[in-house]
Amino acid sequence: MTALWTAVRVGAAALCAGAAAWLTVGHARGLRRAVLLFGDGVGPAGTARWVPWWSSWAAKACGRVRGLGREWLCLPPALVLAVLGESVLPLIGGALAVPLTRRSLRSRERRRARERRADGVVALCGAAAGELRAGLHPAQALVAASGSTGGLGGAETAVLAAARFGGDVPGALRLAAREPGADGLVGLAACWRVAVDGGAGLAAGLDRLEAALRAERERGEALRAQLTGAWSTVALLAVLPVVGLLLGSALGADPLRVLLHTPAGWGLLAVGGALEGVGLWWAVRIVRAGEAP
């Protein structure tokens, strides 16, 4: 129990220190703004006299706190539950939830980057077709379109170098298509190869490719809209344990004491947590399978 309350005091002190640093930085920013606006009229000694000496340290501390990922937001609720339940188990659960949340957030970021890259490829095809109709050479059109859309992603340098200096543009495009979400560049490479080898119109091929990619994107968006109800079910499944705890507390059952301070409660907590985790994983897997192309 002594170790528990020591951990609680340390956590509370850390939260208070973070809040104080946040307020300090806001106060220091206000003073700096006043100095910049009124100059020497604020004080004869200038900025150094009116801004606290510890403001720079507080600014650095808050910068480091802001640099932490959103996954660390799992710890404050765990600290609150630890205080309310007088147990260290919520803190352990919060610490275990941090890497899982980080993995989920990174997966979401990768998915959004893949979608942005796919949209960039569609815009690249349309812009390149427009530049070709304006009279530019295919290499010049690709360079101009890439500068306005950024659809080539991280392989932009290699593709533009091949276009500017007469290199293997289709090969560079196929290499760029290996990035997640850039599959449409394979079609662009095929159109380029056909236009160069067979003399076909590249603009017409790019128009058809853009239409096909845009239709595929629209089908994906429609599918995600239809799966909104399934995602709502997953969210409801995640919130149900919290609702159960609130209902038990409202009825006077004191579920936190039972779960955190009795052997039967420990068993129920372990089995319930395992079942909840497996259920969430299985539900998310089913929805992800439905979203897959």
pLDDT tens for 88-115 read 888 888 888 888 888 888 988 988 888 8
Q: Which pLDDT score is estimated for 1?
A: 45
Residue 4 pLDDT exceeds 50: no
- Which band of pLDDT confidence, cut at 50, 70 and 90, is reported for residue 44? very low
R_g of the chain, CA atoms, integer Å: 29
Residue 13 pLDDT exceeds 50: no
In this prediction, residues 63-68 reach a mean pLDDT of: 52
In this prediction, residues 248-252 reach a mean pLDDT of: 85
pLDDT > 70: what percent of the chain? 73
Distance, CA of 216 to CA of 223 (rounded, Å): 11
Lowest mean pLDDT among 5-9, 72-76, 112-116, 220-224: 5-9
Q: Which pLDDT score is estimated for 197?
A: 64
In this prediction, residues 195-202 reach a mean pLDDT of: 68
Distance, CA of 33 to CA of 16 (rounded, Å): 26
Residue 194 CB contacts under 8 Å (≥ 6 apart), including other chains:
200, 205
On average, the pLDDT of the chain sits at: 76
Q: Which pLDDT score is estimated for 182?
A: 84
Q: Which pLDDT score is estimated for 139?
A: 84
Lowest mean pLDDT among 64-73, 140-149, 188-197: 64-73
CA 30, distance to chain mean position in Å, is 31
Q: Which pLDDT score is estimated for 41?
A: 43
Distance, CA of 87 to CA of 91 (rounded, Å): 8
Q: Which pLDDT score is estimated for 163?
A: 82
Q: Which residues of 153-190 are buried (b: 16+ CB within 10 A; e: fewer)?
A: bebbebbbebbeeeeebbebbbbbbebebbbbbbbbbe
In this prediction, residues 194-214 reach a mean pLDDT of: 80
Residue 37 pLDDT exceeds 80: no
Residue 45 pLDDT exceeds 50: no
- Which band of pLDDT confidence, cut at 50, 70 and 90, is reported for residue 148? low
- Which band of pLDDT confidence, cut at 50, 70 and 90, is reported for residue 38? very low
DSSP string, 242-282: HHHHHHHHHTT--HHHHHHHSHHHHHHHHHHHHHHHHHHHH
How far apart are the two ends of the chain, measured CA to CA in Å? Answer: 53
